[in-house]
C-alpha cells in the first residue's frame, strides 16, 4: 500500500514536471521573459486577451463593475466578456499580480495549466485502471503536450476545459456505475463556468459517451438504464446550474449578436481523406490555425505502435474494441464532414482555429494506447512485429500519398525513427526477463519526453518583442494622462 502511494505521487509529479520543464526549456531557447526580452503573445493574445486581463486586474485592484466597462472599445458588456475570456477561477490570482507583470501572469499561467493537464490525465488513468505503472505518466505527458495544446495553448481560457475533461469523464463513469455524482457535477460545472464555448463540445460528447458507457456496462435491465438516464440528466442540470452566474448573462448577450442566427448546411461535403487526416497525428507537423479545416491531433508517434496492438489484444473485450473503433471513425468524420463540423462548433463554422473538439479525440486514442500498454503481456512478439510493420508501412504510404504542405518530408522519417525506438522497448519487453521489463515504461517515458518537447518547440510558442509592447503601452498611458490633465470629463478619443 505504501509503495503504491509513493509510486502514485511520483507518477503525478512526473506528469506535472516534465510538461512544465519542457515549456520552460522552450521559453529559455526562445528568450521569453525573464530569460530574454521576448513574450509569448500570439494573435488574439496580443490585441485582445492582454487588454482584457489588464482591465480585469484594474477592477480587482481599484474596484468597479464586473457588469460593464467603459475602458474597452466604446464600452462593453463586461459580464459577457468575462464569461468567455476571464471566468477561470485561477484568473482571480491577478489580484496578487503587479500591473507590469500581467503578460508574465498570462504566459506562466499557460505553463501551470499545461502541467495540471498532465496531472489530471494521470489521475484519470490511475483511477480507471487498477494497474500501477509508470505508463500513465508518459500518456499524461502526451495529452499535456498534444497537437491541440501546441496549436491552441495561447487560448488560455480554453485550457481549463482541457484540464478538467479527464476528471469529467471519470465522474461520468462513476455516475453510470451507480457511484457518487459529486466529481461529475463539480468538474462539469467548473468547466462550464470557466469557458462555456469549449464546454459545449464537452457536453455534446458526454451524451455520446454516456450511450457508449451504457453499451459497455450492459443494457439488459431497462430499469437500471432508466435510473442512469435520470441521474445523468439531473446531475448535468445541476452542473449547468452551478455555472449559471456566468452562463445566463452570456446567453442573453449572444441573443443580441449574429451568433444567435445560423443556417444549417444543405449538402454534405468532405474536406480531406482519412489518410491525410491520420498523417496529422505524426510529430513535427505544422499546426493549422487558419481557415483550412485540418485537425491538430498529434498525440505522439507511440500511437502508431500501440493502436494496432489495442485492437489485437485478447484481454480487451471485442465489445469495447467495437465501441472505441466506432468513436474513432465518428471523430474522423467529424473533422472531415462539413455538417458534423458545423454541429460540433455550436451550429456555426469556426472562423479559423479548426476542429476545436479534437482534444476529445486525442484523449480517447491515448486511453486506448494506455490500455494496450498495461495489457502488453497479452501481446505476442508476432503481434508487436506486425504492429511495427503497419506503422512503418503507414509512414511510407503517407509519404507517397499525402500532399499537405504543412507536413515536411522529414516528418515521415522522424516518425519512423521514433516508432523504431518505441518498438525496441516493446520488443525487448516481450523477449527479456521480468527484471529487464521493468525498464520498458522508463525507456518509453524518456523517449516520449524528448519527442513531445521537440514537437512543441517546432510547432508552437511563437514570440514577439516584449520591450516594444510595453513601450507602446507606456506611451499610450502618457498621452492619456496628458489629455486627462487638461480635461477630466467623460469623452472618447482613439489611438
Taking the C-alpha atoms of residue 447 and residue 21, their distance in angstroms, rounded to an integer, is 15
Assigned C-alpha cell, 487:
480635461
Assigned C-alpha cell, 444:
518509453
User: 369, 121 in Cβ contact below 8 A?
Assistant: no
Q: Tell me the whole-structure pTM to 2 decimals.
A: 0.95
pLDDT of res. 219: 74
Taking the C-alpha atoms of residue 175 and residue 210, their distance in angstroms, rounded to an integer, is 10
Closest CA to 170 of 154, 198, 191, 149: 191
pLDDT of res. 1: 44
C-alpha distance from residue 266 to each of 164, 202, 338 (Å):
35, 26, 10
User: 339, 268 in Cβ contact below 8 A?
Assistant: yes
Taking the C-alpha atoms of residue 294 and residue 402, their distance in angstroms, rounded to an integer, is 13
pLDDT of res. 257: 64
C-alpha distance from residue 264 to each of 203, 261, 341, 398 (Å):
20, 10, 11, 34
pLDDT of res. 77: 86
Taking the C-alpha atoms of residue 154 and residue 448, their distance in angstroms, rounded to an integer, is 23
Taking only the tens of pLDDT, the chain with its 495 residues reads: 445 555 667 899 999 999 999 999 999 999 999 999 999 887 788 888 999 999 999 999 988 888 888 887 778 888 889 989 999 999 999 999 998 899 999 999 999 999 999 999 999 999 999 877 888 999 999 999 999 999 999 999 999 999 999 999 999 999 999 999 999 999 999 999 999 999 999 999 999 999 999 999 887 788 889 999 999 999 999 999 999 888 887 787 777 665 556 788 888 899 988 899 999 999 999 999 887 889 999 999 999 999 999 999 999 999 999 999 999 999 999 999 999 999 999 888 888 899 999 999 999 999 999 999 999 999 999 999 999 999 999 999 999 999 888 899 999 999 999 999 999 999 998 887 666 677 888 999 999 999 999 999 999 988 889 999 889 888 888 888 888 888 887 777 776
Query: What kind and span of H or E run contains 76?
Result: strand 76-77
Taking the C-alpha atoms of residue 468 and residue 149, their distance in angstroms, rounded to an integer, is 27
Q: Which residue has the cell 479545416?
A: 293
Amino acid at each position: 500500500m505504501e509503495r503504491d502511494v509513493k509510486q502514485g505521487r511520483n507518477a503525478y509529479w512526473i506528469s506535472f514536471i516534465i510538461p512544465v520543464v519542457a515549456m520552460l526549456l522552450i521559453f529559455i531557447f526562445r528568450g521569453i521573459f525573464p530569460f530574454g526580452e521576448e513574450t509569448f503573445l500570439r494573435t488574439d493574445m496580443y490585441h485582445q486577451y492582454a487588454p482584457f486581463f489588464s482591465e480585469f486586474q484594474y477592477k480587482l485592484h481599484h474596484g468597479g463593475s464586473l457588469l460593464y466597462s467603459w475602458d474597452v472599445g466604446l464600452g462593453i458588456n463586461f459580464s459577457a466578456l468575462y464569461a468567455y475570456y476571464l471566468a477561470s477561477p485561477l484568473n482571480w490570482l491577478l489580484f496578487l499580480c503587479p500591473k507590469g507583470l500581467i503578460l508574465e501572469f498570462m504566459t506562466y499561467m499557460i505553463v501551470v495549466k499545461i502541467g495540471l493537464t498532465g496531472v489530471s490525465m494521470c489521475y484519470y488513468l490511475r483511477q480507471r485502471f487498477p494497474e500501477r505503472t509508470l505508463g500513465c505518466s508518459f500518456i499524461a505527458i502526451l495529452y499535456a503536450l498534444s497537437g491541440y495544446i501546441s496549436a491552441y495553448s495561447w487560448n488560455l481560457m480554453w485550457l481549463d476545459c482541457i484540464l478538467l475533461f479527464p476528471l469529467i469523464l471519470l465522474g461520468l463513469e462513476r455516475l453510470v456505475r451507480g457511484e457518487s455524482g459529486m466529481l461529475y457535477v463539480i468538474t462539469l460545472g467548473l468547466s462550464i463556468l470557466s469557458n462555456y464555448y469549449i464546454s459545449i463540445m464537452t457536453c455534446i460528447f458526454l451524451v455520446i459517451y454516456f450511450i457508449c458507457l451504457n453499451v459497455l456496462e450492459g443494457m439488459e435491465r431497462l430499469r437500471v438504464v432508466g435510473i442512469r438516464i435520470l441521474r445523468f440528466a439531473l446531475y448535468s442540470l445541476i452542473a449547468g446550474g452551478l455555472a449559471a452566474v456566468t452562463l445566463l448573462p452570456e446567453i442573453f448577450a449572444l441573443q443580441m449578436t449574429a451568433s444567435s442566427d445560423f443556417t444549417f448546411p444543405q449538402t454534405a461535403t468532405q474536406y480531406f481523406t482519412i489518410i491525410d487526416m491520420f498523417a496529422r497525428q505524426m510529430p513535427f507537423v505544422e499546426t493549422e490555425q487558419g481557415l483550412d479545416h485540418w485537425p491538430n491531433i498529434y498525440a505522439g508517434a507511440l500511437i502508431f505502435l500501440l493502436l494496432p496492438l489495442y485492437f489485437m489484444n485478447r484481454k480487451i473485450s471485442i465489445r469495447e474494441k467495437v465501441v472505441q473503433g466506432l468513436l474513432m471513425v465518428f471523430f474522423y468524420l467529424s473533422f472531415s464532414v462539413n455538417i458534423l463540423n458545423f454541429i460540433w462548433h455550436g451550429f456555426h463554422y469556426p472562423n479559423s482555429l479548426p476542429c476545436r473538439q479534437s482534444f476529445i479525440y486525442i484523449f480517447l486514442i491515448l486511453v486506448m494506447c494506455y490500455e494496450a500498454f498495461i495489457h502488453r503481456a497479452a501481446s505476442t512478439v508476432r503481434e508487436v512485429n506486425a504492429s511495427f510493420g503497419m506503422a512503418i508501412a503507414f509512414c511510407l504510404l503517407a509519404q507517397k500519398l499525402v500532399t499537405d504542405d504543412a507536413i515536411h518530408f522529414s516528418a515521415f522519417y522522424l516518425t519512423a525513427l521514433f516508432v523504431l525506438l518505441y518498438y525496441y522497448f516493446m520488443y525487448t519487453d516481450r523477449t527479456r526477463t521480468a527484471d529487464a521489463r521493468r525498464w520498458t515504461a522508463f525507456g518509453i517515458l524518456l523517449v516520449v519526453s524528448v519527442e513531445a518537447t521537440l514537437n512543441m518547440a517546432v510547432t508552437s510558442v511563437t514570440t514577439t518583442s516584449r520591450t516594444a509592447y510595453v513601450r507602446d503601452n507606456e506611451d499610450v498611458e502618457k498621452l492619456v494622462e496628458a489629455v486627462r490633465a487638461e480635461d477630466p470629463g467623460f469623452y472618447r478619443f482613439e489611438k
